[in-house]
Amino acid sequence: MEKISSKNKILISIVGPTAIGKTNLAIQIAKYYNTEIISCDSRQFFKEMKIGTAVPSDDELAEVKHHFIQNKSIHETYSVGDFERDGLAFLEDYFKKNDICVMVGGSGLYEKAITVGFDSFPDVDPQIREQLNQELEESGIEKLQNELKEVDPIYFEEVDIHNKQRVIRSLEIFRGIGKPFSSFRNQNLNPRPFQIIKIGLELPREEMYDRINRRVDIMLNEGLIEEVKSLLPYKELNALQTVGYREIFDFFEETSSIDFAIEEIKKNTRRFAKRQMTWFKKDETINWFLPDQLEHIKKYIDQKKSSN
């Protein structure tokens, strides 16, 4: 494969918390530069999960060509390492004929995989993972969450602690190596052969939370409950261990009312947005704007382009 060699190739990465308006901005920026969009939203990869992951509408998808949207099944295993490989291969090919590409998403680890690189973790005895899965089965996720909080408070604040596989993976590293999962990040990273311009969207907390609440109401009107019901037989799959699905699974299993489930979705989504901002605010290369500052953002990107 021919290697990208020119720093004139530019990836514009748009990040921020859920429901803040990243999709709309990405489309406007992609149209302005006559280019295409890569999604780095780890939940939007799966074609069975459309409503609860806020996949762009058919009209939005028709405005600009999107990649890595509903391209996998929940029955497939797809890791951040897989995405790094596939995303870089896509850019390798795309930049042969195009100078700019837009990437958008709120999954910090997946955004980092493309812009910085995925960390190299040491091999761990597979029996450790078996033991952790057994503990999960016998004692539940809370015990493992508490252990993670104690041994790796840095990663605990960033990870979706309800994602069983990520909790297990981080504890697997700690138990096997004796060092916290977070200590292995940012090691042996490969510089990218293209320029990266990072745009972050933010709002005052109350306004952000109001957008989240309204987003959940829209999802419900669009048929979220029916979508989750259709996935009930597969509720143990890793892809479905996410906000908006597990709360309604509890309703169908009669461990909560639908009103309680809806309020839990809103609450857990607000918490998720807070963790997203904690993650992204640590990245000093991100330049922050309000969602309605389109002209300011375009001017900023143009200036960055011309200065390199």
Question: In this predicted model, what pLDDT tens digit does every residue of 48-99 receive, in sequence order?
Answer: 999 999 999 999 999 999 999 999 999 998 888 899 999 999 999 999 999 9
Whether 2 shows a pLDDT value over 60: the answer reads no
Question: Can you give the C-alpha Rg of the chain in angstroms?
Answer: 20
What is the percentage of the chain residues whose pLDDT exceeds 90? 72
Residue 78's pLDDT is: 87
Which residue ranges make up the annotated binding site?
16-23
What pLDDT score was predicted for residue 179?
Answer: 86
Q: Is the pLDDT of residue 272 over 80?
A: yes
pLDDT at 258: 96
Bind-site residues for substrate: 18-23
- The pLDDT confidence band at residue 187, using thresholds 50, 70 and 90, is low
Residue 7 pLDDT: 66
Query: ∠194-278-51 over CA atoms, to 5°?
Result: 80
pLDDT of res. 1: 37
**Residue 127 has what pLDDT?**
86
Phi, psi of 67 (to 5 degrees): -125, 150
| Structure tokens given for 125 | 């005895």
Residue 207 CA to residue 20 CA, distance in Å, equals 9
The residue behind tokens 């790094």 is: 84
Give yes or no for residue 4 having a pLDDT over 50. Answer: no
Among candidate residues 113, 102, 85, 91, the one with its CA nearest the CA of residue 31: 102
Q: In this predicted structure, what is the pLDDT of residue 308?
A: 64
What is the DSSP track for 42-63?
A: TTTTBTT-STTTTPPPHHHHHH
* 128 C-beta neighbours (distance < 10 Å), count: 17
Query: Among residues of the chain, what percentage have pLDDT more than 70?
Result: 94
Instruction: Round the average pLDDT of the chain to a whole number and report it.
Output: 91
pLDDT in tens, 279-305: 999 999 999 999 999 999 999 999 998
Please give the domain boundaries of the chain with CATH numbers for all domains.
10-119+186-306 (3.40.50.300), 126-184 (1.10.20.140)
Q: What is the pLDDT of residues 221-251, one digit of tens each?
A: 999 999 999 999 999 898 998 999 999 999 9
Q: How many CB atoms lie within 10 A of CB 80?
A: 18
Q: pLDDT at residue 157 above 90?
A: no
Least confident of 137-141, 157-161, 173-177: 157-161
pLDDT computed for residue 189 by the predictor: 60
Annotated binding site for ATP: 16-23
According to DSSP, the residues that pair with 196 across neighbouring strands are 11
